[in-house]
Amino acid sequence: MKGNKTAWFCTSCGAESSKWQGKCPACGEWNTMVEERIVSDDKKSRSLTPVKLKQTRTRPQLIHEIETSDEARIKMPSGELNRVLGGGLVPGSLVLIGGEPGIGKSTLVLQNILSIRSRKILYISGEESAKQLKMRADRIGRPNDNVYIVCETSLENIKDHIEDVDPGLVVVDSIQTIASDAIESVAGSVSQVRECAAQLLKYAKETSVPVLLIGHITKEGSIAGPKVLEHIVDAVLQFEGDRQNIYRILRSIKNRFGSTAELGVYEMCQRGLREVSNPSEMFLSQNDEELSGISIGVTMEGVRAFLIEVQALVSTAAYGTPQRSVTGFDSKRMNMLLAVLEKRVGFKLAAKDVFLNIAGGLKVNDPSLDLAVICAILSSNVDITIPNRICMAGEVGLSGEVRPVSRIEQRIREAEKLGMETIIIPRNNLKGIDTSGLGIKIVEVAKVEEAFRTLFA
């Protein structure tokens, strides 16, 4: 029959094919093609754009004729969320928030919209009932008469609800549960996710109403659904953290209106999520007892500097083959640093187990943490403690040199603010910077051996 034609779609990138293929011709992934019914010609999805909104035709403009102005952003109640978004929510933007089940995505969104009093908000839930949302709102303790709750999974019915409420902000929880009657496939399939996201994007752009989408993630930690979903939206925010841990981290994977290097930190409490304004206190141990294998590094996430504790454990290999275990740091980079310690400094670690952990559950990619990593490993190897009032920042090269890092003045001031007495930094990293007003001792080193002599002399 004409209305029962099928096609094959890639669950990774959304590419379409007329027949099954073991390898996707677009993204190269294996065994990702699934069969779905395609949209028939006599069924067209109704647009989410209100009928009263007239379509206007654009015309080409010369680049010097285009007027530029700052985007008028909607300030969210959470300062951490504003930072990750790049200063607030842009009108007409489509933002996707992803994370593991139970991590706190719905709680983060709900407690923010309950604090907005200036506009009507429509919360569309396809997973939870209205009573569950009411119980969560009561637990958060922020009543708001501007938030409308509707439990719906049909895209066409959502369009009717939007016309009735005429909201200033729309929340969809979650995009994988929404389905259009025009597409003959189940909710969460490639074609359904793509069509529903495209309709919501069209509505957001034509009405200047921001839309927040909540999405699932796969076992590998990526956003569920085709990769085209991430291409459609304006921003992708990842909510990370261990459900057994009270801390949550909000990252920006994609952001058309801001930086992707920003990071927000939250603490899960009984009454919702609490902002952590000073992450350094979270990542540093409150134990006054000094132990070997612990060093403090100064790292950067976006424009924010904070101190983080690096923990290392070096022991003799008990089973013949040495183990290399890393949590929160690049394992290949740790192996490189171990090779530098053995070749350039002379410490034999080839027959020893090395375990490395970044405290607080944070994943760090900043190379300025190299110096803290090798100092923690050496401290555990020789069983000598590093004073807890000493911190360090520096990238380590293959020849054992300590290379300069960016934003060194901001790192020094953060260390001083948290009561550090000494900071070890690369030599010549302070060119053009006035250090007369700093109340912290600065030690400059050019080689790894100089840092070791400073710490373990």
100 is in an annotated binding site: yes
Q: Was 101 annotated as part of a binding site?
A: yes
**Residue 104 labeled ligand binder:** yes
Mapped to the 3 state alphabet, what secondary structure does the chain carry? CHHHCEEEEECCCCCEECCCCCECCCCCCECCEEEEECCCCCCCCCCCCCCCCCCCCCCCCCHHHCCCCCCCCECCCCHHHHHHHCCCECCCCEEEEEECCCCCHHHHHHHHHCCCCCCCEEEEECCCCHHHHHHHHHHHCCCCCCEEEEECCEHHHHHHHHHHHCCCEEEEECHHHCECCCCCCCCCCHHHHHHHHHHHHHHHHHHCCCEEEEECECCCCCECCCCHHHHHCCEEEEEECCCCCCEEEEEEEEECCCCCCCEEEEEEECCEEEECCCHHHHHCCCCCCCCECEEEEEEEECCEEEEEEEEEEEEECCCCCCCEEEECCCHHHHHHHHHHHHHHHCCCCCCEEEEEEEHHHCCCCCHHHHHHHHHHHHHHHHCCECCCCEEECCEECCCCEEECCCCHHHHHHHHHHCCCCEEEEECCCCCCCCCCCCCCEEEEECEHHHHHHHHHC
- Does the annotation list 99 as a binding residue? yes
Q: Does 331 appear as a known binding residue?
A: no
What are the binding residues for ATP?
99-106
Binding residues: 99-106
